[in-house]
Amino acid sequence: MNTLLNVENISKYFGGVKALIEVSMQVKSDEILGIIGPNGAGKTTLFNVLSGFDKPTKGRILYYDKDITGKAVHEICRRGMGRTFQNIRLFGQMKVIDNLLVGMHTKLFVNFIEVVLNSKSGCLKENNAYKKAHEILKYLKINDIAFDLASNLPYGKQRKVEIARALSSQPKLLLLDEPSAGMNPSETEELMKLIGGIEDNFGAVVVIIEHNMQLVMGISDRIIVLNFGKNIAEGTPKEIQNNHLVIEAYLG
Amino acid sequence: MINKNKKNNYGLIFIVFTIFIPFIVKDQYQLRVINMVLLYSIIALSVNLIVGFSGQLDFGRSAFVGLGGYWYAIMMLHFHLPFIIAFISASLFCAFVGFGLGMVCRRSSFDYLTLMTVGFNIMCMQVFLNWIPVTNGALGLRLIPSATLFGFSFDTNFKFFYFALFLLIICYIVIKRITKSKIGRAFEAIRDDPIAASYSGIDVANFKVINFSIASFFTGIAGAAIASYVNFISPFASSLDESIYLLQMAILGGLGSLPGSILGAVILVIAPEISRTFYEYRLMFVGFLMVVMMLWVPNGILGKNGIGERVIGIKKLYSDKKNKQKRDNGKRTLLKSKNVFSSKKENNGSGGKKK
């Protein structure tokens, strides 16, 4: 098992607030990594730092053994990192299928001349992208809403569209920020199966932040627990469930 | 899905109709207004590209009309260049200036970008007003040569109509293709959510620059064409009022809708020409129109949830109602039979069986 992402002693301070303190972690290929922790533990900040949205105060991030610390968001995305958001960020005035095609932006090599001349090669590439987008929608079982406006969808489907958009950029690493928030139990169960199959179907390693313990314990191979910006425990779901530090963090 | 073989019938019908306009409209004044509509449509399309698709509020569009017009006029009057070179260089010059403006405000967010474009517009107008050796100050440049292609001069209203129509069709097709492509989708993504757009691998700052360059190119084309048609350009064509006026064309027609921009230009160019006294009040009229529109159709006539969509929506609702009634009738029969089943004890199930 080789290491996909290597985070070395990352710290992030917002003025006096220490959101992350010396967090180190590794993401290996062939696994689903869960990140849990109480509210305000710094989970989303960790994602922001990993994806380049926030620059870390200290430390460095290696992605495929290359330093990506402080790189812009779109550059890191181009290297193959996808992400969903805790509060949904869809392109509301666009159709679902167009949302996915925007996600394919970096994989769709159509140049300006092809666009202006509406050339055959450009159309072919577009059509291929359409087909791929439909495949992703089919996998997530939302192909019936492909031509609906994203803002008109119910909450649970918007979440799925967001995952679909992140998948459409063909990432090698997919960061999911609370994908099951606002879903009912049956939807959550379905989502769990879908997330479990992402690795096999799309070849993306999933890192998941989740408050739903049933979900995260069920699908993760390894779990990292954050509390007050510190990495307090790491291990398999069973080890985490019996870790006294974790129990203390959750129950006070 | 983009299909190369798909034919756009509405567009063809529209073009066929417009081709015969100069034969039907004999009045020179009316034909002149129609020509101005065609040219302003191009500007409205370019405004729509920035405001409607990319979601940046640009108050500097009339500056580019002036830049294109002045560049064309100076190239023709001072340097005596051939028409085609002066014309194309004018639009390229505008694209270049648009690129520069885009570079300056690529990192600024929505409101600050708007203020920057206001500043740019005022700056351009002051240059046109005060750089007297080149621009002839407030008097403007007169006797600008008309468009000529291969020895054929588009000097009458009749001839110029076809030149303007040709330009509009070309610009429309190119803009349409851009908006349907990866580039257009990136613009829309930036409008809807810049952060999510950057997480999709779009370089937001660069796409803003590209957007400004493309739109300025088309504004410049229209500016040069107007200068060649009217044979005159004054600095007051690039005032802030004019910018607002151009902006209103795009907003009235419908943001994000290309036919809407043309409709906006039709309304706002023809309306003030109906009477000259009305011309004095055009900004008041347009202002009033804006207030009324923002209340009922905030996205413009042909925009999202605009009048066009509402008419279709009413039709759909009507057909849906019919379908629903059919479905309801079906449901009712089901319910009846269920009721019969539930009251089995009394009826001994005979009602259900009859059904």
Residue among A83, A130, A166 whose CB faces B1 most closely: A130
> Using an 8 Å Cβ cutoff, are A246 and A225 in contact?
yes
Q: Are residues A42 and A117 in the same domain?
A: no
- End-of-domain residue from the set A153, A169, A185: A169
Pick from B3, B174, B182: which is nearest to A105 by CB?
Answer: B182
Minimal-distance CA residue of chain B relative to A77: B201
pLDDT, position A209: 92
Q: Which of residues 105-164 of A touch B (CB under 8 A)?
A: 105-106, 108, 110, 112, 115-116, 118, 120, 122-123, 126-127, 130
Percent of residues, chain B, with pLDDT higher than 70: 87
The DSSP code sequence of B169-229 is: HHHHHHHHHHHHSHHHHHHHHHHH-HHHHHHTT--HHHHHHHHHHHHHHHHHHHHHHHHHH
Chain A neighbors of B11, CB-CB under 8 A: none
Shortest Cα–Cα distance, A79 to chain B (Å): 9
pLDDT at residue B2 tops 90? no
Match 């151009």 to its residue by tokens.
B246
Banded model confidence at residue A120, pLDDT cuts 50, 70, 90 = confident
Q: How far apart are CA B23 and CA B101, in angstroms?
A: 43
Task: Mean pLDDT check: name the lowest of A17-31, B266-280, B326-340.
Answer: B326-340
Residue A149 lies in a domain: yes
The stretch A51-76 carries a mean pLDDT of 90
Chain B residues within 8 A of A124 when measuring between CB atoms: none
Last residue of a domain, one of A121, A136, A169: A169
Residue A10 lies in a domain: no
Return d(Cα B253, Cα B276) in angstroms, integer. Answer: 23
Distances (CA, A) of A191 to A90, A148, A194, A196, B293: 19, 21, 5, 8, 43
Q: What is the DSSP string of B44-101?
A: HHHHHIIIIIS------HHHHHHHHHHHHHHHHHTS---HHHHHHHHHHHHHHHHHHH
Q: Are residues A165 and A176 in the same domain?
A: no
Q: Compute the distance between CA of residue B116 and CA of residue A177 in angstroms, rounded to an integer.
A: 37
DSSP, collapsed to helix, strand or coil, labels residue B306 as: coil
Beta carbons within 8 Å of B315's beta carbon, 6+ residues apart: none
Q: What mean pLDDT, rounded, does chain A reach?
A: 89
Which of A74, A83, A127 lies at the smallest CB-CB distance from B203?
A: A74
Q: Check A110 against B4: CB less than 8 A apart.
A: no
> Residue B344: its pLDDT value, please?
41
Cα A109 to Cα A113, A120, B130, B177, B182, distances in angstroms: 12, 13, 47, 16, 9
Nearest residue of chain A to residue B182 (CA atoms): A105
- Asked whether A224 and A231 are in contact (CB, 8 A), the reply is yes
Residues A176 and A236 in one domain: yes
Kindly state the DSSP code that residue B303 receives in the 8-state scheme.
Answer: S
**Residues B200, A108: Cα–Cα separation, whole Å:** 12
Is A124 contained in some domain? yes
Nearest to B200 among A110, A118, A165 (CB): A165
Element (H, E) at B237: none
A167-208 pLDDT tens trace: 999 999 999 998 888 888 888 888 888 888 888 888 899 999
| Cross-chain residue pair B178–A74, CB shorter than 8 Å | no
In this complex, which of A74, A98, A166 lies closest to B202 when CB atoms are compared? A74
Burial class (CB in 10 A: 0-12, 13-18, 19+), A148: middle
pLDDT at B167 exceeding the cut of 90:
yes
* Domain enclosing residue A102, as ranges: 90-169
On whether the pTM is more than 0.90, the answer is: no
Q: Is A96 in contact with A153 (CB distance < 8 Å)?
A: yes
Most confident region among A67-81, A118-132, B35-49 by mean pLDDT: B35-49
Tell me the three-class secondary structure of chain A, residue by residue: CCEEEEEEEEEEEECCEEEEEEEEEEEECCCEEEEECCCCCCHHHHHHHHCCCCCCCEEEEEECCEECCCCCHHHHHHCCEEECCCCCCCCCCCEHHHHHHHHCHHHCCCCHHHHHHCCHHHHHHHHHHHHHHHHHHHHCCCHHHCCCEHHHCCHHHHHHHHHHHHHHCCCCEEEEECCCCCCCHHHHHHHHHHHHHHHHHHCCEEEEECCCHHHHHHHCCEEEEEECCEEEEEECHHHHHCCHHHHHHHHC
Residues A54, A120 within the same domain: no
Interface membership of A93 toward B (CB under 8 Å): yes
Residue A75 above 70 pLDDT? yes
Helix, coil or strand: residue B152: strand
Does the residue A221 lie in any domain? yes
- Any domain includes A2: no
Same-domain status, A155 and A194: no
Length of chain B in terms of residues written: 355
Residue A55 and residue A94 in one domain: no
Strand partners, A227: A230
Among A103-107, B44-48, B116-120, B147-151, the minimum mean pLDDT is found in B147-151
For A154-171, how does the pLDDT look when each residue is reduced to its tens digit (9 = 90+)? 888 899 999 999 999 999
Residue B149 confidence class, pLDDT cut points 50, 70, 90? confident
Classify residue A20: in a domain, yes or no.
no
> What mean pLDDT do residues B317-323 have?
71
What is the overall mean pLDDT for chain B? 84
Closest residue of A to B1, CA-based?
A: A127
- A131 and A107 share a domain? yes
DSSP class of B355:
-
pLDDT of A1 reads 60
Specify whether A75 is located in the same domain as A176. Answer: yes
| Residue to test with chain B: of A95, A105, A168, A169, most B Cβ within 10 A | A105
Rg, C-alpha atoms of chain A: 19
Cβ count near B132 (within 10 Å): 10
What the block records as the tokens of A37 is 């922790």
> Which carries the bigger pLDDT value, residue A29 or residue B311?
A29
**Residues A127, A53 share a domain:** no
Domains in chain B, CATH or no CATH each: 9-301 (1.10.3470), 310-354 (no CATH)
CB B170: neighbour CB atoms within 10 A?
13
Ordered strands of the A81-83 beta sheet: A81-83, A173-177, A205-209, A32-36, A222-227, A230-235
pLDDT computed for residue B324 by the predictor? 63
**Residue A123 sits in the same domain as residue A187:** no
**Overall number of domains in chain A:** 2
Evaluate whether B199 touches B205 at the Cβ level (below 8 Å): no
What percentage of chain B carries pLDDT values higher than 90?
47
Q: Cα distance from A147 to chain B (closest Cα, Å)?
A: 11
**Nearest-neighbour CA in chain A from B229: distance (Å):** 27
Residues of A in contact with B191 (CB under 8 A): 93
Give the tokens for residue B15: 């073009």
Within a domain: A19: no
Q: What is the ipTM of this complex?
A: 0.90
Asked if residue A101 and residue A70 are part of one domain, the reply reads no
B186 Cβ contact partners less than 8 Å away, ≥ 6 residues apart = A102, A105, B197, B202, B207
Distance CA B257, CA B251 (A): 10
Instruction: Give the pLDDT mean for B112-140.
Output: 92
Mean pLDDT, range A80-92, rounded to an integer: 91
Say if residue B350 is exposed, middle or buried (CB neighbours under 10 Å; 0-12, 13-18, 19+). exposed
User: Residue B346, SS3?
Assistant: helix
Give the residue from chain B lying closest to A89, CA to CA.
B196
**Residue A241 at interface with chain B, using a CB cutoff of 8 Å:** no
Given this model, what pLDDT does residue B355 score?
37
Pairing of strands A58-63, A230-235: unpaired
DSSP code, position B2: -
Please check the confidence at residue B345 and state whether its pLDDT lies above 50: no
Contact flag A77-B199 (C-beta cutoff 8 Å): yes
Give the domain-ending residue among A169, A189, A210: A169
| Mutate which: A44, A71, A73, vs B, most B CBs within 10 A | A73
Sign of the Cα torsion B47, B48, B53, B57 reads positive
Cβ contact (<8 Å) for A91 and B1? Answer: no
